[in-house]
Amino acid sequence: MSKTIFMKAGEYLDEKKMQGKLFHNVVKTKTLEANITYLLPGTKTQKYTHKGEEIHYLIEGEVEFKVGDERFLLQAGDTLYHSSNKPHRSKNLSKSKSAKYITVSTPPTFM
């Protein structure tokens, strides 16, 4: 693909709101997508299982990711890669601060 995508800070292609969660899609192609996830304190995502792979990069906060039976505690600057065919979810562990992370996944399945 020869298309170049540039998004200014605060811009996004699509938005998905759920209780305590906000997802901004910033890149979507035929083969991958990138989303910025905002989790309010104590909020967790649903478990998902699908084809593909994911990389998560934590920007702010402290987030627990569960992938299958494994648990990973991410702090700002940490990165997690996993296959998406295992059930996975994230949870903001803070009771007072929001969390923010970027997920790049292939193929695009979320937004």
Tokens (6 digits) for 23: 């997802």
Contact 94, 62 (CB under 8 A): yes
Strand residue runs (E) in 29-61: 33-39, 53-60
> Stretch 15-19: mean pLDDT, rounded?
94
Q: What are the residue boundaries of the structural domains of the chain, listed by start?
A: 14-106
pLDDT band, residue 87 (cuts 50/70/90): very high
From CA 9, how far away is CA 84, in angstroms rounded? 28
Which class would CATH give 14-106? mainly beta
Statement: the pTM of the whole predicted model exceeds 0.85: yes
